[in-house]
Structure 1
Amino acid sequence: MKTAIEVLLDAFENSMCKDANQKSRSQYRSVINALGKDEVFKTDAEKNFLTLVIKLIANNREDECIKLIGILRYSVCVYNWGSLRSYETYCNKFTDFLEKLLSSEAASKKSIKKKIASACTTPTLSDTEESWLKTAFANRTVFLHEQLMTKFMGRLRRQDRISGNKVWLPLSYIAKLYKKAGKTKEFTDWLRKLAEGIFVHYEDDNKEIKSVQFKAQQVFLVFEKKENSDGTYNVKVALSASNKCYTAYTPTGEGNTKVPMIVKDISDIAIDHVKPIDLTLKELGDKGRIPNLKMVSDSFRDMMGRPEKADKDIEDESLDQLYNNVDICELTDELNLIRTDGVLRLMVSEYNGKKSNSTAYDKIIKIKGKGEYLGLLGEALLDDETIYLYQRLNERDAKTRASREEPKGTKVKISKKIINLI
């Protein structure tokens, strides 16, 4: 009779063979070898990963299993594998398989978990094993790339823009329109591209502030408990492509000032729109570039103003009318216009909530011959004379300056280079 570990590894092997159209035990053996690298995995929980995973699955403790996978994947991410890089790949493939196994409601996945539980002869965790888990989870929490994508997509999905004199963006309502049209995947793909485009700032080995987008590589956020703190964590950014982990930084909204990111929970990290999305909606709407979204906006406004029926009746009727008039493919193109016009980044909620307009630049210009970038903030009156407000983006803590003449230069878009400055 096979052991529970053998059942799990056989299931992984079968999943890999299906993709590779071959039957071999190379994946199986490589996972065992990779997980046995003591120099990679420091905690007892990681060193006994397979045994603990089996018991956690058998006891339906899937949340803890996911947390343990995060701890192990962080160790895999930051270790420099050198000539053993293939072991890193095997570890990541295996933990990818585990994540899908734990999160799926498919009958085939449930069957595998049931077989694992049946084959686990001693499912109860010993006091020592419980201690291993407690120690591993005590000071570090790892949020894996896909966990972050799920969280960020959910947040963005709820960010309705339904106020002001502009074309509205009622995302919850739009999602229902896509579902009605049988195009839910298209809307989900748009949300994912939005989430993957988010920047996060960090300080590199040269003490320079850089940024990375989630679409560039597998990016983890690592929460490490501060010593002698009241439940606060230092946030780090783990980069899979370079096997590096750096301190995450948050903009403060004051000039270009950024400080280390310290939070109590992941809910303390907000998604900041560098360019206000309301401004994007107004600009595109004024130019007539989002006609299908305008139809959606008008329909939503009309629905909100009709209290004479039950809400669901009004919504169903409204969506029926839209379904016959809106071109979903063109609406997707318009949503992509909104996505590519904006820039998103992670920012501690405390700063996001009191953010000034210091980074909501009217435009950014490059001064010819100097390699200097200026962010124009707008105009102000001083003694009945118009003055122009701007910041030098290259400065670490840019102060707001004033000029009697509008600074001249070449207007540029917000690129990754610019994002590192603001």
Structure 2
Amino acid sequence: MTLAARFLDAYPHHNIARLIRDRLARCREARIISGFATPDGVAALKVGASAPKITRLVLGAGTFKAFQALDSLITSGLPASAARLHLGYSRATGWPKNPFERLRPMLHSKIYYFEMPDGTAAAFVGSHNLTGFALRGRNGEAAVLLEGPASEPGFADIRAHIEEAYRVAVVYDAALKEAYATWYADYLDRLKTDITDMPRTGTGGRSLVVMAEAAAGIAPAVGQAVYFEVDRRIQEINSIHTQVHLHLFPHLPAMPRDGLAALANVAQSFRAKVQAIDARAGSAEIDADWFVDQRPRAELKRAPRTFRPHPTSGKQQVTALIEDRLAEAFEYEFDPPEKWLPQLGNERLVDEETDEVWNPVVGLQPERRLEAVERRGSQMLMELSPDSGSFILLSRGRRRLSR
């Protein structure tokens, strides 16, 4: 009899807990190594009277309640000497706030090894951590089942792997559960920093983004003034940190978001600063060289010699002075959703042991922006967001991109 290898299932959501429980019940000795553990993962094994058979239980990390479950296993007969925790590796950073590196190499092995009374052995080697999601088939996982004489060199290598991890790991101390959980939480906090570290070459403050159509040969010169109208409730444009970015298209896209996506291909872009703001409803003469006619669609036109615009109800008049061409490309940031919500498909994933029903996530959609804005008491910002339909937008920030 030689070592036989069998890939367990072509379906990623395979319940492996039953197979492991079967070997655990029949074996004379078990050795388990897992990168992460949760209480429902420990519960999925249903160790019971088999606890004394486990001579090695090495974990890379776990939740506080997982360590409480480990305490229960020890109470049920798991040898205290069998339980160890691999705390990974770290190094000094020299930083006062975090003197040791939190994003660190960790134990990530997943092996469930069993020696049988007849001299054979079985090992599940794969991606399954000691968690309920993994063992009961809710995660998509993969594993190979190895079976054969325990004396096979392949099993000797597996035992050596487990023993080396056991050697490096520290003896589990129930009094340090909080420390163990916090040590892993620190890792996740540091990882979150990397996850949300979006590519950028610099950020800036608020911007009034004006997109308009312009016929061939139509473009303002440096020092000339451009007139346009924005919602009267918007006060942020008074800030000296608010820039005006004027983007001219040969043909204006159908929707504001289409325009934002096409900015890299815009023929002409200009940087301007707010020169004058008038929130009154009057029709006084305006000193401007150009104006953005927003009826029916935003278009840059030359201002007549005597320019007395009649602002639309609820609008304020803004005049911006062209400072230079805009040589840089930006990604503009608007009021973000509170959170992203999953879009669920129709397929069903049923946990055979708990009868919980799960559906696949087929996409992500932002929480309705209007609701998020209303919660902040700033519904007015919706008027200058890309979802308003307006081609004059107020961004809360900008990120410089490479052209």
TM-score, normalized by length of structure 2? 0.21
Higher strand proportion (structure 1 or 2): 2
Higher relative contact order (CA 8 A, sep 6+): 2
Higher helix proportion (structure 1 or 2): 1
